[in-house]
Amino acid sequence: MECFLQKYGWRIALCSSQILTPAESGYAAVEGEALAVAWCLKKARLFLLGCPGLTIVTDHRPLVKLLGAVHYSLDSIDEKTVEEASLDDPPYQLLVGRVTAGEWNQKKSQEVACLRPFYGIRERLSISGTLVTYCFNDNCICLVIPEGLRHQITARHHSLDTLLRGARHSVYWPGIEGDLQHRRSRCTSCDAHASSLPAEVMKMTPAPEYLFQQTVMDLFQLEGHMYMPYCDKLTGGLEIAHFPNGTSSAKVLTKLRHYFTR
């Protein structure tokens, strides 16, 4: 890499941009700049995964100080530290062996108690070196953390909501959401330095004033048959359409046209 830079200099590999949503346009300046960094990292993740010397360049000086001590890859924990902790964690080593062999029991109840929390996500677990990784639906790869280090991570990353989101997308263990939220709820300092954006107030739909001004419907399956409940919100009058041979867009539209016309 160094020889390439000396010979050819820097080259653009990816260039992109994004328009802010109405909510994002209301962010404070430092929050908007941090959002830009997070978006760029996600956009270019295929180029950056496994990069040992990543450098982020920004012209927003407050962001330099804010992110200067943060490493999202392993949440400020060195990989060697994680490996050392995993060696002293028998359940973690048992998990490594199970993932490596790929031989899980047929039922969750048959697994060793310490491995049962991983049973439902066993297909998303893999091995990277000597450590276990977990892959989200969006191909975000997280490092599974041994139990001895989890308290340290929650202590470091519960303080800022942006860092809390970063922790969710870089490390994993069963119950991580609950642990982070529990730690966050107990911190009075976090309340004092919370985001400048208040929680959005829930807007309730005005109550209907006349029949069929507002109606609701849904689809559900029961004993192999499809049903569509249709209800008037003013009176609570309920009808249930039965589709014995299965449903389709055409069948649903036909039934709704009948309701609306009537």
Which band of pLDDT confidence, cut at 50, 70 and 90, is reported for residue 77? confident
Confidence at residue 4, expressed as pLDDT on a 0 to 100 scale: 58
Count CB atoms within 10 A of the CB of residue 250: 8
Which band of pLDDT confidence, cut at 50, 70 and 90, is reported for residue 170? confident
Confidence at residue 73, expressed as pLDDT on a 0 to 100 scale: 43
Residues 62 and 53: their CA atoms lie apart, in Å, by 22
Which band of pLDDT confidence, cut at 50, 70 and 90, is reported for residue 254? very high
Which residues are registered as beta bridge partners of 141?
135
Confidence at residue 74, expressed as pLDDT on a 0 to 100 scale: 44
Tell me: pLDDT of 190 over 70: no
254-258-262 Cα angle (round to 5): 165
What CA–CA distances, in Å, run from 160 to 36, 78, 193? 17, 21, 8
Cβ contact 155:79 at 8 Å: no
pLDDT digits 0-9 by tens, 160-169:
555 556 566 6
The predicted model scores a pTM of 0.46
Average pLDDT over residues 109-116: 92
Q: Which residues contact 228 (CB under 8 A, 6 or more apart)?
A: 217, 218, 219, 240, 241, 243, 247, 252, 255
Q: Is the backbone of residue 6 left (phi > 0), alpha (psi -120 to 50) or beta?
A: alpha
Query: Which range among 27-41, 103-117, 216-230 shows the weakest confidence by mean pLDDT?
Result: 27-41
